[in-house]
Structure 1
């Protein structure tokens, strides 16, 4: 019998640059292994390559195919030391080459939106941050308003363009700097469950 649970999709990224092992995908796979521990939803995870063209095609397909309650993109940041909850994303400034040596010709994510458009998630990241920081776990969180103008920002804007009320982005630090994969997964679980509360109660 088909599941009646709404789907929550969590994506990580493949390797790029100095991140031959991308902490985001490792943490997301660990989250899948350990589960969200939430009976209200069905968790799906997938890995996105660090390629603009593929992300531009894949993200809308995920939304269309699965009609998820929530999509959370997870990426690694070499400067992060905690879970970094991104509140917004940008449409322009994508001039950094992906792993295929490409970037968007217009340096924009969505062509039919204003170049300078900034989309803000309807999910209150301050509430999510408080939930993580008061959960009694090792991982701590902070809120950010700049996802970085690379594939992280690009994927986030792609999802916010589709549903700005049901999309989120979380940056994680590299593995063991300072958190293990299991600790990152635990932090993601707390954060995502708090997001689910917000989107499910609307």
Structure 2
């Protein structure tokens, strides 16, 4: 019997902060970065593709709190994906960084519409922090063992702006079946091709880790 196809949704975005977060939406260069590294990296990922049986859907997300609150639930409803991976660029990063968790409170920066939630939080009454169900430490070890010429590290703070806001919103919507990857600006030190290959390897390993975890859960239920 043929296995059902699975969906992986990748959204590309970022945040403009004076400390160096950059912006990713598709309306041109923005902030201190003349090139949108995360969008270009994801375009490289699209060229490479993922394993057979996995459909890859790519979206750009505006740097707007209210749009994020509408769009993220709509994407989960539309695709019912196995995994959603959000990708942003950080001007402070020198490695490809796997974010472990999203945070609910502390959002004070204005978005591209000069808007900020009055509550300064993603979900009123939601938990302060939500962890991804993906074992990011395991993904980091697996990808590092592949011998790619890209360093991969772990973070527990996605920045308390639109990147973190998007991640928390997605984690809340999906009960943790989301991930966020920060990439450095192009050429600092990696090329678009290097970042694209790194994203491909990271997402493949995320799927492997998720499948292994689900197999263990199913096995426990059977017994």
Q: Same fold (TM over 0.5)?
A: yes
Alignment gaps of 5+ in structure 1: none
Distance across 1 between alignment mates of 2:60 and 2:34: 14
Larger CA Rg, structure 1 vs 2: 2
Residues 172-187 of structure 1 mapped to structure 2, 5 A cutoff: 172-187=183-198
Instruction: Name segments (4+ residues, structure 1) moved above 6 Å.
Output: none
Q: How does 1:5-24 map to 2 (within 5 A)?
A: 5-13=5-13, 14=25, 16-24=30-38
Partner of 2:171: 160
Give the distance between the partners of 1:153 and 1:16, measured in 2 at CA. Answer: 19
User: Structure 2 unaligned runs (5+)?
Assistant: 14-24, 215-223
Aligned to 1:31: 45
Aligned mate of 1:151, from 148, 155, 162: 162
Asked if structure 1 preserves the Cα contact closer than 8 Å seen for 2:138 and 2:209, the reply is no
8 Å CA contact 1:16, 1:99 repeated in 2: no
Root mean square deviation, CA, Å: 1.5
Shift of 1:16: 4.3
**Offset, 1:20:** 4.4
Question: After superposition, where does 1:1-202 map in structure 2 within 5 Å?
Answer: 4-13=4-13, 14=25, 16-36=30-50, 38-114=51-127, 117-201=128-212, 202=214
Alpha-carbon distance in structure 2 between the residues aligned to 1:161 and 1:53: 16
> Which is further off, 9-18 or 47-56?
9-18
Q: List per-residue Cα deviations over 1:40-90 (Å, max 9, x = no partner).
A: 311111111111111111111000110000000001111100110000110
Describe the SS at the equivalent of 1:101. Answer: coil
In the alignment of these two chains, the number of paired residues is 197
1:100 to partner: Cα distance: 1.7
TM-score scaled by length of structure 1:
0.92
Three-state SS of the structure 1 residue aligned to 2:11 is: strand
* TM-score normalised by structure 2 residue count: 0.84
Aligned mates of 1:198, 1:157 — CA distance in 2: 21
